[in-house]
Chain A
């Protein structure tokens, strides 16, 4: 079931097309990645979901029905350009924003205490926001975003400004939130986080959606019949057997182990590679290489840019 759906969204700013005919469909309890180069329109789409802008065309659906403005109160939103009152104290501010979300003072205090302990932020309570480092205010903002247990979480570039330790912590929190039943949409440039977190993605380039689907399906779709094999045995013999069916892309030896990358010349559903080499060598490992999201991103964006030229 879709938790959230946007259909055929168009948005123009003056003569500039921010989004043209973009649709996304976010399954309940999933993590949905919005990818795309800078200026592609990701943030615009997020702001449309948050009712910050109205779309020129297209429709939004929330929990299976048409989205209404009040649905935003059920959303936790972490904007890309983080905003807090700089002169206000950390604790005071978190409490204020929690209460605006409708939590009682006691409940807000309880939850904040819990989150502050989790993120080791207790000592910041009486500090002013302006003295926090970027990473620290990112953490604070994250806590403020999730504190009221919203059913839909929208993170715009959640990992920017985090060091590896905090980024890992944040990643675990996001996974944990999904475990607890939240649906999450996040935009990012960080492709490794996409691999680790996302169930589905949409890739937006120059206002258009150029790729969408489940991460695994996409990877499968963009694989290029490349295999990695490692074995002990005679490499020249193997090369002769594979002959014209497989090209050797790379070969190296570490001690007596051969590492080979091979590409199938003509795509064939029946992969005979294993059966060809198995009788002749002592096989250590064999696997088909799936492209990384990073490679897919670069390939798809570049070819889409070339098509437009």
Chain B
């Protein structure tokens, strides 16, 4: 154990002292902050034209119920079909068509906004809030007021405004945008990047030791398994350090960006707890009224960012990163041990990368459809779950699903570490021999 710690310490210190590590630690957050600055910049410079929206309300319950704002005017059309209006939308002066289907009271996907331009976050969120409020009011009316607690619980309704952009040919194209989606995309991609880059670093370290033959010296001092685990843990510590540095620096940089773009909003209002979404929105609206130069999109973006539970996000990220990393790093270590640079024997690298790539492919659909069955299953399967689950978490995932996914991942990484240790032990000392799969199975059966 003491020897594992020595190896871990060396792996960590030599990696952290590298100039490339220090550069990446600063560059990473700078890129994130730049990314945020760009979003804020575009949000802040969004045009403030008055938009006229045609409302086709199939239920009839929302007529005149969505209040106009400074920039948004709603006109309620009766006896007009959506499809008819869609065809002539270009010729009218409407910005878009808001369609409310009869299932609005129980389906979150009942409201659609058709438009030739991409509606801003502000517009969709405003409409969603308004309809949500109206549905809530109507539901409240239908209940007996005596059991207010129960009533309040049951009237919680989730409305996602599905915005459908009409392309020139009249095709419907979903632009399922939203801050949530980007957070999902970003965090699962980050998980993938961390697992992949640091897993490959483990593999490269193993190959380095094998190629320069220092392993022959070390193996007379420590057991191969200790050498492997020390490396895996040392690289993991490096990754976590990088991640924490990134979080801290990104927070610092973003605070600077916020200060530059939104000087009038106090940090207290922005850095709010997620539960305080309502207050934050109110605050933001107040600020918006007092300080007209602050774009409403900006405050809207912040309130959605605040609605995502970042504590859950970060803990989930750390868990899935560590567990996913342990799973893949041990496999990468085993594969590195089978590689002989002299014989260019690298056929086992691809099979290890494959499930990671599969995870990314599934993630690309999961961050748009977090509840689809493919997203569900791949977020439970251990080899893809770190990436796919991270894409689902920003939307909220039932606890039991997360628990099963985590438990499966833990069991699997213990298994792969055990397996990898056996392959590593033999492979690391094997030179000038082409390793076949059958050979590796033989190594696994060797006794210690």
Contact = CB atoms under 8 A, between A and B. Distances in A.
Interface string B1-37: 0010011001000100000000000000000000000
Interface residues of A, number: 31
A74 to B, nearest CB: 9
B221 interface: yes
B245 interface: no
B217, B220, B222 pick with most chain A CB within 10 angstroms: B220
Interface stretch (B208-216, B312-320, B364-372): B208-216
Contact of B432 (A13, A73, A96): A13
B220 A72 contact: yes
Nearest to A80: B213
Contacts, number: 61
Given A85-B214, A99-B6, A76 B220 contact: yes
A20 B303 CA distance: 76
Interface in A13-68: 13-14, 47, 50-53
B7 to A, nearest CB: 7
A224 to B, nearest CB: 41
Contact of B3 (A52, A86, A100): A100
Contacts of B433: 13-14
Given A69-B448, A86-B212, A88-B14, A97 B217 contact: yes
B429 interface: yes
A25 to B, nearest CB: 22
Given A13-B433, A100-B6, A50 B218 contact: no
Nearest to B6: A99
A52 B218 contact: no
Interface in A91-125: 96-97, 99-102
A100 B222 contact: yes
B7 A84 contact: no
Contacts of A81: 213, 216
B7 A100 contact: yes
Contact of B217 (A47, A51, A77, A102): A77
A13 B213 CA distance: 19
B338 to A, nearest CB: 15
Contacts of B432: 13
A71 B348 CA distance: 33
Interface in A129-148: 141, 144-145
A213 interface: no
Contact of A87 (B3, B14, B221): B14
Given A72-B219, A83-B213, A97-B218, A52 B6 contact: no
A182 to B, nearest CB: 15
Given A96-B6, A99-B6, A83 B215 contact: yes
Contacts of A82: 213
Interface in B212-260: 212-222
A75 interface: yes
Contacts of A77: 216-217, 220
Contacts of B216: 47, 50, 52, 77, 79, 81, 83
A84 B220 contact: no
B53 to A, nearest CB: 63
Interface in A219-243: none
Given A13-B432, A13-B433, A50 B219 contact: yes
A100 B222 CA distance: 7
Interface string B119-132: 00000000000000
Interface in B71-99: none
Nearest to A71: B220
A14 B220 CA distance: 26
Nearest to A79: B216
B219 A52 contact: yes
A73 B220 contact: yes
A53 B429 contact: yes
B212 A83 contact: yes
Contact of A79 (B7, B10, B213): B213
Nearest to B216: A79
Contacts of A86: 212
Interface string B404-421: 000000000000000000
A77 B219 CA distance: 10
A69 B220 CA distance: 10
Contacts of A13: 432-433
Nearest to B214: A83
B101 to A, nearest CB: 64
Interface of A: 13-14, 47, 50-53, 69, 72-73, 75-77, 79, 81-88, 96-97, 99-102, 141, 144-145
15 contacts: A13-B432, A50-B219, A52-B429, A75-B220, A77-B216, A77-B220, A81-B216, A83-B215, A83-B216, A83-B217, A96-B6, A96-B10, A100-B7, A102-B221, A141-B217
Interface of B: 3, 6-7, 10, 14, 209, 212-222, 429, 432-433, 448
Given A73-B220, A96-B6, 19 more contacts: A13-B432, A13-B433, A47-B216, A52-B216, A52-B219, A69-B448, A72-B219, A77-B217, A83-B209, A83-B212, A83-B213, A83-B214, A83-B216, A83-B217, A85-B212, A85-B214, A97-B218, A97-B221, A99-B6
